[in-house]
Amino acid sequence: MTDVEVPYNNKKRKLNKADIEIRITSWLDVGGGKWEKQGFLQKMYQNFLIKGRVDNHLRDLYNAAYGLHKLIKDFLTLRSY
């Protein structure tokens, strides 16, 4: 963090300049537990029957996380001098 002087409304203001890093992670829990402990029918159910629904939920989750990322970036650019 460094101190800087910025002209704002015909006055010089003393502000701080810094870099920020925000990491956004998301995950989808399909509730299967460990792969080795699942039975044959559970594996078939997850790989073939609900794979399309899981893929749709993953896409929705990605879009929600990306939307949050964009919202944070837009908010932070509003607050810059």
pLDDT value for 37: 73
| Distance (Å, whole) CA 33 – CA 81 | 49
Name the residue with tokens 């749709």.
Answer: 56
Give tens-digit pLDDT for 7-51: 888 899 998 888 888 899 999 887 766 666 778 888 888 888 889
For the whole prediction, is pTM greater than 0.75?
Answer: no
Give the pLDDT confidence score for residue 54 in this predicted structure: 92
The predicted model gives 51-66 an average pLDDT of 95
Which pLDDT score, from 0 to 100, does residue 24 have?
A: 93
What pLDDT is stored for residue 8 in this prediction?
Answer: 84
Burial class (CB in 10 A: 0-12, 13-18, 19+), 38: middle
- Could you tell me the CA-to-CA distances from 5 to 9, 12, 45 in Å, in that order? 13, 6, 62
